[in-house]
Amino acid sequence: MRRIMIGAAVLALAGAARGEFFKIQGAVDFGGIGGNGGPLLGDFADPTDPLNPVVPPEFGPTANGQAVSVANTPVATPTSYSVIFFVAGGVNSITDPAGFDGVEIFRGGFGADYALASEARVLIRDNGADKNVRFTGIGTPGEVVGGGTLSQTYRLMQYDGAFRSLWVEAIPAPGAAAVLMMGGMVAARRRR
């Protein structure tokens, strides 16, 4: 019984170390007509090149691989991509390539790393409340537009696999990993 309780505690702590599930509830804004965000920068030089396409449905704006609805016509240049898009009903987070909770928002081919011209805005359902979150760089924590707090930290991250993808991911609190490690050490010590 004691082992079951320790195992359950370690699993609960492991979930806390990943960050909480969240949902992209509304628009993802990379600028364009009527947008507040700025373009996504990268290598979009030749959409017909099979090694570097930005052609839906496999490439371009996505929501964990699902088709999205665009609010304005995408504008692509060799080095930037502007669009506002959303998924009706939102999309729940899944485990991203790094093991965090995340939502994939863009897929492209390989070339220059992604960057933001100024900012990107994403409507996130954070702990039951919709928050308009501004990101000013890849890997930089987001902040609520107009002030306010988030229940956890979010950031944009690029991952390379079969294609280059951009994710919004939840970052666990720094203490969560330490608590998980302590739980593992206690469980190991009990076995001795």
Band (138; pLDDT cuts 50, 70, 90): very high
Between CA 185 and CA 35 the distance in angstroms is 50
Most confident range (mean pLDDT) of 57-61, 148-152, 188-192 is 148-152
Q: Is the pLDDT of residue 32 over 90?
A: no
The angle formed by the CA atoms of residues 90, 144 and 120, to the nearest 5 degrees, is 65
The owner of tokens 């924590």 is 141
Phi, psi of 74 (to 5 degrees): -60, 140
At position 134, the amino acid (one-letter code) is R
Structure tokens given for 13: 């702590």
Between CA 54 and CA 146 the distance in angstroms is 33
Phi, psi of 128 (to 5 degrees): 90, -5
Share of the chain above pLDDT 70, in %: 73
Q: Across the chain, what does the average pLDDT equal?
A: 80
Structure tokens given for 19: 């960050």
Phi, psi of 25 (to 5 degrees): -95, -25
Instruction: Give me the pLDDT at residue 44, please.
Output: 75
CA 19 to chain centre: 12
Between CA 65 and CA 14 the distance in angstroms is 26
Interacting residues of 144 by C-beta distance below 8 A, sequence separation 6+: 131, 132, 133, 134, 150
Interacting residues of 94 by C-beta distance below 8 A, sequence separation 6+: 64, 101, 102, 103
Average pLDDT for residues 108-120, to the nearest whole number? 88
Instruction: Give me the pLDDT at residue 48, please.
Output: 56
